[in-house]
A and B are shown apart, each in its own frame.
Chain A
Amino acid sequence: MFGNPVRLLSATGLVLVLGLAAACGTAPAASGGGDAGPPRAGGTLRLGISSNPDCLDPQQVGTNAALNVGRQLVDSLTDQDPGNGKITPWLAEKWEVNADSTSFTFSLRKGATFSDGTPVDAAAVKASFDGIKAIGPKAQLGNGYLAAYKSATVVDPSTVRLDFSAPSAQFLQASSTMSLGVLAPSAYQKTPEQRCQGDGLVGSGPFVFESFKSNQQIVISKRKGYAWGSPLWKHTGEAYLDKVEFRIVPEPGVRTGSLASGQLDAITDVQPVDEPQFAGNGFTEPVRANPGIVFNLHANVTRGVLSDVKVRQAVLKGVNRQEVTDTVLTKNYKPASSILGSATPLHLDLSKELAYDPDGAKKLLDEQGWAPGPDGIRVKDGQRLTAKIVFSLVFNQNQSVLELVQQQLRKIGFDLRIEQRTTAETTQLTLAGDYDFIWYNTTRADADILRQLFSTKAGNRSKLAAGNPLDATLDAQAATVDDATRKPAVEQAQRVIIEQAYAVPVFELTQVWGLGPKTHDVAFEASSRMRLFDAWLAG
């Protein structure tokens, strides 16, 4: 009764294949070209981002998608130079820090106003910091920055003092982030949930919030009369762009295709596989590694075979970082050269210590009595040389990277078992310390992130015993904003972490954007988030 579906299929398939081949042969049309010319004001930037932010309030959020929006809406007390990591003036013209870094006094510049017309004065700054402290863990990043925050005091209308209950040298850098960006006092008359949706999201930044349509787009527009930008920026006065539309485009192929076909002017999160598409031909591809803790296998030293430092060292030597970036990622991604990313101030280059050394790894394991078993995995006293790593899919390439690391470790006789979990479950396991290895990275342009994750008084992800030497160096760096004292402590901490292999660094997360031929000067700030103040569109 019926015909010949298979033959039909192959015919249809052929047509499809040919159609696709023909359709896909065309390269992205280039226009504009190299001559950037002088910046031009006006226009709407259509920017494709990869995920829908549940919340837009920069004080609450933790994802890049949301922080990239929030950064444009608020100003911070200070700014951070992405070149050298130095903290520079912004809303605060100058500041003083007391000897043990528990008290910070900021002198505010005059003339800055919030978009509701109220002035950015000491009282507003106090209200903002109190407001962040009040929402506790809902301030996903700020909660950590203000862990020791005690109170703010209005010294005079343009001077505010913030006091901490423990040395908090990191606060100076934190004051430059959008997470501690200043919102108008009126914002705190709304609930945190309302601010998330943009209701009452009033800042003093170069752009103001206009609309948020969930899963569709966020629109922000230029703040008229803005004149208090950070001296680090390229120009003064108002932003060039009239409007920015953040279009939420989850599918990577659609993002790149839309940029290539001119339906978008810029995109974030270009996938490693799509990078070659935007090389040359009028498109540009800004790239910057994230500062902070690199992607790593963070060991729990109380668990199984990982309690032996020699085993951890063997794993550290058995990972071929260069091969990871070469095969699974691209040349834009750097192999880890320390537990801190190379863009982090006070990063110490430990590439030698992190060199691929399978023979050294095998030797260490041999010495410890781990002998290769029948399936190539080493055994000792009936125990297999194995550990589990828990990860969630926050970065698309996680799975491939871990699979490669798994293959590499197999060569030295170590069996790495990979377990994907939901983000909620990963958080739960992290809180409970219920893991052998945990896989994560975190963005922070200050070395104090080491204290937050390794100190026994803070996150202590390695589950170290209190009073270990690492704690002392971590405390020392927290007590001063003076780099002359801070630097040796931070370097010592990085050295100890690698020597003891408390964590096995693998690669640096990197932001890769794609810009259309007309889009210029979309810039990275020090935490590798987006700065749109200087961005402009050619006519």
Chain B
Amino acid sequence: MSSVATPSAARREAGFYLRRPGLVLSVAVILLVLLWAVVPELFTAHDPIAGVPAERLQGPSAAHLFGTDETGRDVFARVVHGAALSLRATVLSVLVSLIAGAALGLLAGSRGGWVDSLVMRVVDVLQSVPSILLSLALVTALGFGTTNVAIAVGVANLATFARLMRAEVLRVRTGVFVEAARAAGVRWTGVLARHILPNSLGPVLVLATLTFGTAVLEVSALSFLGYGATPPTPEWGSLVAGGRGFLATAWWMTTFPGLTVAAVVLATNRVSRALDGERRLV
């Protein structure tokens, strides 16, 4: 972690980004999407829900950047307004996998013995059942709706986090500072909270960023299979899935939301790669 205080450090920092326009762009994409979620009305004047039937199925133009859909709604407005719900769903799904998975992995890695065996078998089971199948069943059980879809996707991805967290804990656990802390008489929970958790969390957070992108796609896939709810408020996954019937007649309806998803997935991928160690190489 470099400090930004000294001029030379600041220059190095600037150089780091200058040589990585892709990373800068990625960060910009993520910031833009976050802004869409918070203040959508700054970006579009069109109503995302009520359409103008007279302007249905128009191609992209200056008035409608991404064209209009079958009821005359502005697709760009729907993408912008959809950011909030999409991001909320994805963040929720990632949080479910992250928190539950990390907790399981932490438990398994730090306690070892039969607890480890038990947790890892549970993880095995979760991984051996294809995640899409698990998601399908969970959505049917929890009921339709974006939140439930997000939870289902989160649970299906949980096992990966548990495995990674456990591996990290096992790695850190044997570290010198942990041994030292233990020798100094620090209680096990203290060691866990102060040394093991912060040191092993890094890679898990990177995984979370990666999963963030794919979670959007998984929600979209469930929408395609008829499991994602399409509430009046737009959501990216269901925009892509819902517009597919128009691929032949109005390609913009599914293509632009699709490209938006792709851009966000790519941007988060890029950022997570940076977090993964590019900084350390400087």
Contacts and interface: CB of A to CB of B under 8 A. Distances in A.
Direct contact of A and B (CB under 8 A): yes
Scoring A9, A252, A328 by chain B CB atoms within 10 A of each residue's CB, the highest score goes to: A9
Interface residues of A, number: 37
A469 interface: no
B174 interface: no
A257 B259 CA distance: 23
A277 interface: yes
B22 A7 contact: yes
B251 A253 contact: no
Interface in B192-226: 226
Nearest to A21: B251
Interface in A386-417: 393, 399, 403, 406-407
B163 interface: no
A216 interface: no
A3 B71 contact: no
A393 B251 contact: no
Contacts of A4: 21-22, 25
A110 B21 CA distance: 86
Interface string B236-259: 000000001111110100010001
A24 B247 contact: yes
Given A13-B259, A403-B232, A274 B249 contact: yes
B65 interface: no
A5 B213 CA distance: 14
Contact of B144 (A1, A260, A277, A420): A420
Contacts of A21: 251
A271 interface: yes
B232 A420 contact: no
A134 interface: no
A9 B213 CA distance: 15
B135 interface: no
A459 B276 CA distance: 63
B191 interface: no
Interface in A264-301: 271, 273-274, 276-277
Contacts of A484: none
B22 A2 contact: yes
Contacts of A431: none
A273 B266 contact: no
B229 interface: yes
B interface SS class:
helix
Contacts of A5: 22, 26, 266-267, 269-270
Q: Which of B50, B226, B244, B259 is most buried by chain A, counting CB atoms within 10 A of its CB?
A: B259
Contact of B247 (A2, A10, A17, A253): A253
Which of A257, A328, A422 is packed against the most chain B CB atoms within 10 Å?
Answer: A422
B175 interface: no
Contacts of A253: 244-248
A407 B73 CA distance: 15
Contacts of B249: 24, 273-274, 276-277
A13 B53 contact: no
A399 B263 contact: no
Interface string A29-48: 00000000000000000000
A403 B29 CA distance: 32
B278 A271 contact: no
Contacts of B64: none
A1 B278 contact: yes
Interface string A184-224: 00000000000000000000000000000000000000000
Given A7-B22, A17-B251, A327-B53, A274 B245 contact: yes
A20 interface: yes
Interface residues of B, number: 35
A148 B79 CA distance: 56
Contacts of B13: none
Given A24-B248, A253-B244, A328-B71, A2 B270 contact: yes
A368 to B, nearest CB: 28
Contacts of B244: 251, 253
B45 interface: no
A274 B245 CA distance: 8
Contacts of A273: 70, 245-246, 249
Contacts of B22: 2-7
A178 to B, nearest CB: 28
A527 B157 CA distance: 47
Contacts of A407: 50, 232
Contacts of A496: none
B273 interface: yes
B117 interface: no
Interface string A8-31: 011001001100110010000000
Contacts of B245: 252-253, 271, 273-274
A326 interface: yes
Contact of A20 (B229, B251, B266, B269): B251
Interface in A238-273: 251-253, 256-257, 260, 271, 273
A15 to B, nearest CB: 12
A69 B115 CA distance: 57
B262 interface: yes
Contacts of A3: 22
Interface in A415-469: 420-422
A6 B248 contact: no
Contacts of B144: 420-421
B281 interface: yes
Contacts of A251: 244
B270 A24 contact: no
A398 to B, nearest CB: 11
A257 B26 CA distance: 37
Contact of B53 (A9, A252, A260, A326): A326
B44 interface: no
Contacts of A9: 259, 262-263, 266
A418 to B, nearest CB: 9
Nearest to A9: B266
Contacts of A274: 245, 249
A268 to B, nearest CB: 15
Nearest to B25: A6
A509 to B, nearest CB: 19
B25 A7 contact: yes
Contacts of B281: 1
Contact of B140 (A7, A10, A13, A422): A422
A65 to B, nearest CB: 16
Contacts of B127: none
Contacts of A13: 259, 262
Nearest to B144: A420
Given A1-B281, A4-B25, A20-B247, 15 more contacts: A2-B273, A5-B26, A5-B267, A6-B22, A6-B29, A9-B263, A13-B259, A16-B255, A16-B259, A17-B255, A17-B259, A24-B248, A24-B251, A327-B51, A406-B232
9 contacts: A3-B22, A4-B25, A5-B270, A6-B263, A6-B266, A17-B251, A251-B244, A273-B246, A406-B232
Leading 5 A-B pairs by shortest Cβ distance: A4-B22, A6-B25, A420-B144, A20-B251, A5-B266
Interface of B: 21-22, 25-26, 29, 50-51, 53, 70-71, 140, 143-144, 226, 229-230, 232, 244-249, 251, 255, 259, 262-263, 266-267, 269-270, 273, 278, 281
